[in-house]
Structure 1
């Protein structure tokens, strides 16, 4: 999959897949807002977390009708997702998580 985000090309064929994670995305549908009275409504997607050779992070998922979506994220967000969904991979990629 290839995405151009903020002037940078992200190509998952050339990136390293780090982990499978989940992320909640807010729904911007006017119909959904009307039904739920402007409450924050969204969907949690199963996502794939990727890192480029230059250290940029990409989060991809599939939406309705097999639409592939990619979002560039910060390293801090990547760390947060890994800590929550793949702590072993976090420790491999970054640092050991302290014991409680």
Structure 2
């Protein structure tokens, strides 16, 4: 799959799929605005987190009947997603988290 984001090409054939994570996205439609005036509504999507050889991160999720959406994210956001949803992978990449 290929995505062009901010003038950069993200080709998943040349990237490593790091983990399955979840992310909340805002849903702003005429229906949600009418049903929930003044409220922010959204939903959580299952996502795939990918990393390029150059260290760039890509988050892919599916919505709208199979349409795939790609979002370039910063390493800090990738770390937070890994800490929450794939702690073992986080620790392999960044070292062990301290005990509470």
Structure 1 gaps of 5+ residues are none
4+ residue segments displaced more than 4 Å: none
* Distance in structure 1 (CA, Å) of the matches to 2:38 and 2:52: 37
* Distance in structure 1 (CA, Å) of the matches to 2:21 and 2:70: 14
5 Å matches for 1:74-85? 74-85=74-85
Q: Paired residue for 2:25? A: 25
* Distance in structure 2 (CA, Å) of the matches to 1:95 and 1:64: 37
Q: For 1:65, what is the secondary structure of its paired residue?
A: coil
Q: Paired residue for 1:7? A: 7
* Distance in structure 1 (CA, Å) of the matches to 2:50 and 2:87: 16
Structure 2 gaps of 5+ residues are none
TM-score by length of 2: 0.97
TM-score by length of 1: 0.97
Q: Paired residue for 2:97? A: 97
